[in-house]
Every structure is written in C-alpha cells, then in structure tokens.
Amino acid sequence: MNKKILKLYFCFITIIGSNLIYSQNSHKSDLWAFDILNIPENKTKGKDLTQITIAVIDDGFMLSHKSIASFLYKNTSEVENNFIDDDGNGYIDDFIGWDIADDDSNVNIPEGKEANYYHGTYVASLITRIASIHYGALAKDYIKIMPIKVLEDNANNTYLKKGYDGVKYAIDNGADIICLSWSGGFPTEKQKTLMKQAKAKGIIIVSSAGNFNERKVLYPANFKEVIAVAGVGVDLEKGKFSNFGDKISISAPSEYVKGAYPVQKNAYIHDNGTSASAGLVAGVIALLKSKNPSLNKEEVEAIINNSSNSNSTEKNKYLGLLGSGIIDVEKAILSLNEPNKFFSSNKNRGAILYNKRNSDSIYTIKPEGVFSGFNLSLSSKEVKKKKNNYFSIYLKDTLWRNFNLENIPKKLYIPANSFTVKTKAKFKKKDIFKMSFYSKSIDSTKLYCKEITNLSKNGEVVNNGSLENNYVNNTSCRWVITAPKNKRIKFLFNKMDTEPNVDFVYIADGESLVQENIFAKFSGNNLPPVVSSNSNKVLVWFITDKKNTKKGWEFKYEFVD
C-alpha cells in the first residue's frame, strides 16, 4: 500500500482582485523566478524541433485556465466521450489525461474545491510559461501537458495516495518527462520497479526534494532514477523551507514564484515551495528535449549541471548540498552539442564527456570546501572499441587508479577533496566516454558529536566534542546515560560556554525531551550548579542554532543513591 504523499507548497497570503490573485509581497519582481533562469528566445528552426509531453501528476487541473488550455496533450487514438476504450489501453475516454484516484476521465477540479486543489494547475502553468517565454506563440506546438489527477474528488486532505499509480499511467501512455512536485513515505518494491521502467524507456523524472528545511532528500526525489531539485529564494541562497543534501542535482527558485490559480481562468498566485522548483526544472528540460529528444537522464544532468550558475555564498552551510547550482536555460541550450562547454573545476557536481575532440584533455575537479570524497559514475558503452583505451585518476599528481575501458567499473568512490582525470584513448568519431561526479559532503552537525551516544559506566567525563575548537551550527546531539537500578545520576559541570539563551544543554529524566521530564536547562558562560536526576536513566541533549558558536561544555557524572 502506498504511504501518504504530501504535496510540497506554502502559499503567501493573497488579495483577490477582479481578474488577478497576487501576493502582498509586491515589492519583488513579479516574474523574478523566470528572469533568473535566463530564458532566451528560440533560435532553432521548427523542422528541427520535436513535440515533448510532460506528465504532471498532481491533485487536479483547471483545463480551461488560459495558462494551460492550449498546451493540453490529447490522445488522438481515443474518441472523446464515446464511452469506449478506443485505443485498448485500459482507460475509457482518456482523451486528456486520466483521473487515477476516481478512475475516470475527468481530471478537472471538483466544483467548490478550487482553492484546495490548485496545485496541479499551478505547477503545469510554470512549465507552460517557460515554454512561452522561449517559443512565443508557437510554444503550444512543442510542449504538451498530460494532466494526471491522483487526488479523490471527495478527499478530506490533500495527500496524494495514488501518486505512483499516476507514474505508471504516464509511463504506459507516452510521457517524455514526468513532473512530481510532491514527496512522502518510503517506496515499495513495486514503486522502485516503476522508476527503473521509466528510466529504461528514456523518460526523465523530476521531483522536489521536500519542504522541511532538513538535510534529507525525500522520495520520490531520492530515487537514483530521478532528478532531485532543491529551492532557492530571491537572495539566491537556499530557500527557507527547502530540503538539501548530497543527492540534490540542481536548484531553482522556490519563493514568490508566479503561477496559475484555478479560481478563475485568468487568476494567478505567488507561491512558495520546492514544488515550484521541480516544475521550473521540468519546464527547462522540456525545452532541451524538444531540441534533442534522444537525451537521457545522464545527458540532461551533464548539461544542466555543467551549465548551472553557482548560488551559494553560505559556504559552510550548504556547500555541495544544493546540487551544482541554479539552472541556466541559455547556457544549457548552448551546451546541447557540447556538454563540456561550461565545465568548471570549482563545481561539486558535474560531468565530463570524452570524445575524439578532447581525448587528450586533462580535467581537475577541485571545488571549494572540504568533502569526504566524490562519487563517480562511469560509462564506456558508447565506445565501440574499448581495448587499449584507458581512463586514469590522479590524486595530487600521483596515479591512483588506471582502468582499461573494457573493464571499467560503473560506480567508483574517490576518498579525496580533489582529483584529476584523463584518458589515453583513440576515440572514433561517434565514441563517447562519460564520467559524472558529485561530492560527498561532511555533515558538520555531527562533526564533533554523534546523533546519540549510550553511556553506562560510572564516573565518565562528557563534553560536546569540539575540544579547543568552537562547536558547530545546527548541532543536535544526544547522550543517554543509564545507571544501575535504584541509582540516580549527579552532574558536575567544569566548563560552560554556549551562546546565551540560544544554544542549550537540556537534561531530562528518561529518553525523551518532554517538558515534564526536563530538570535542567543550561546556556551561557556561567558554570551550572550541581544537579541530580530523579531516575536511573537520563537524556542529555545539546541543541544549537545556525548563527554564533562558542567553546562548548563539559561535565562529569556520578551514580548516587
């Protein structure tokens, strides 16, 4: 059974005008989220373009909204409203998408629920706006939206329980790209298989990382077959709500993003959340696929990662955790025939494609910051004659690994902060050897202490672990101390230096930090008094914020009667 799946969005308070819904944050550029993507006018001739279908799997759709009405995918193998499954795909009258949740062909929002079921229309409109900026009036000829509704008409909440069933429909019915602006739960084996099937068919799946401001990429974005997207705010730093992590591929705006609002055919709203980020990235990838429909996930990621713009000045906080940067449409299009064009050795995520033209080139990957290492993906399947062609990796000018392309591993981990690669090969005209990489960041929140440490030996000395250094931001570390039965635990502090009234050491009876169990709470630089527990088991929890840090604390505990 599917876990409940949560749509990812946060709305600004809105004011409703006669024809428009707009945010009170009107001091910001109305379309800043699209401006920052650097979307150029199309220069590709029509004969060289291919129509691309993007399946948007979401709560429901206002098909008549002016932002998406002309972009709707129509199943021409099906006769509309004749109550016959003309194309034999198992769905009667699925002329414009399908309502998976209610098992019918009506993907429209149930009457009276427009404000609650707005999300699908909103996300679809982000894709169509990108297409319209690039292709102008011809956008509808090249980009199509396949609306797939996965929320019941009579649902009591907006959890998308049928989300993965929608993915199956998209796979089986011709989608080129699947946009999943939602997350939640842990996948079943069946759902894992679905993602593999999509990738095997060349379908590119884009999903939002999550809106809980934590270092965790939620499913479905966490699937290796999916392009995971994080969000950035108007300051181009990590979005306030956006999740982050090593598995993020790319970032896009997630705050004050203008999209359709289905209370009227020409109404709009400015919304927050990584749902918007995923929709924007799906729209950009649709442009790339319309110019080169054969692009697979690895090729798309190579292009958007190499051509992205760096977004983080908060280097100690999110370096390596927001993907390669903010997606840049113009540079991505310029990279279609030359994926290495904007390669930068300073990026923590990217790709190198070796061919006949650059077979002698040497590339060094040396991003800013400290990392535990790099994960590499290697593919020589597009090299016709692999024998006597070699790929070498150097660490600090010393050869670390040398592979014949006949037996090169698909995955490789390099335990270093930087590395250099080169090939010794005689590639033919159509040969391509691919290497993609991303850094493995060090979780600074666990740099000096573990998430949980269990102690039971009498007379131990415990400290925050940073010794002579300051502790780090966003620390959340716990110690569970267990004394023999009928004993209590006494605490004697000999050091206390934390940011006053901000970073705290909590001490509570038991193993959970509930208010009634807390018997001590210390902060600042005054040495705490001696305190004792009321039971034989105690939780010590050290929590810090994201700003200032100090030298930390230390205590000795003793078991007493």
Q: What is the CATH number of the domain that holds 547?
A: 2.60.120.290
Query: What pLDDT score was predicted for residue 157?
Result: 86
Helix H, strand E, coil C: the string for 409-446 is CCEEEECCCCEEEEEECCCCCCCEEEEEEEEEECCHHH
Q: Specify the amino acid at residue 189.
A: E
b (16+ CB within 10 A) / e for 338-363: ebbebbeeebbbbbbbbbeeebeeeb
Q: 166: how many CB neighbours lie within 10 A of its CB?
A: 27
Average pLDDT of each block of 10 consecutive residues along the chain (561 residues)? 41 36 52 96 94 97 98 95 93 96 96 94 98 97 98 91 96 98 92 96 97 92 97 92 94 97 95 97 98 95 95 65 96 95 93 92 89 93 92 95 95 95 93 94 76 94 90 89 97 96 96 91 96 97 88 97 94
**pLDDT at position 315, please?**
47
Distance CA 546, CA 529 (A): 27
55 lies in some domain: yes
Place of tokens 């998406």: 68
Domain contains 117:
yes
Residue range of the domain that includes 112? 6-334
pLDDT at 545: 87
Give one DSSP letter per residue of 461-482, joined into a string: EEE-S-TTSPPPTT-EEEEEEE
Q: Is the dihedral of CA 307, 308, 312, 318 positive or negative?
A: negative
Give pLDDT, residue 20: 36
Residue 342 lies in a domain: no
Same domain for 80 and 189: yes
Residue 427: inside a domain:
yes
Q: Please tell me what DSSP assigns to residue 238.
A: B
Closest among 293, 334, 335, 336 to 142, alpha carbons compared: 293
Classify the phi-psi angles of 321: left when phi > 0, otherwise alpha if psi is within -120 to 50, otherwise beta: alpha
Residue 67 counted as domain residue: yes
Task: For residue 270, indicate whether it is catalytic.
Answer: no
- Given 93, 99, 119, 503, the catalytic residue: 119
- 403 and 465 both lie in a single domain: no
If asked whether residues 193 and 272 sit together in one domain, one would say: yes
Beta pairing partners, 208: 229
Asked, for residue 166, whether it belongs to a domain, the answer is yes
User: At 546, phi and psi to the nearest 5?
Assistant: -95, 10
Is 48 noted as a catalytic residue in this protein?
no
Whether residue 500 is found in the same domain as residue 526: yes
Helix (H) or strand (E) holding 371: strand 371-382
- Kindly state whether residues 266 and 409 are assigned to the same domain: no
Q: How many domains does the chain have?
A: 3
The DSSP H or E segment spanning 56 is: strand 52-58
Closest CA to 251 of 240, 260, 263, 238: 238
Per-residue confidence (pLDDT) for residue 131, from 0 to 100: 98
Select which of 181, 275, 277, 533 is catalytic. Answer: 275
Domain of 140, CATH number, reads 3.40.50.200
Residue 13 is predicted with a pLDDT of: 32
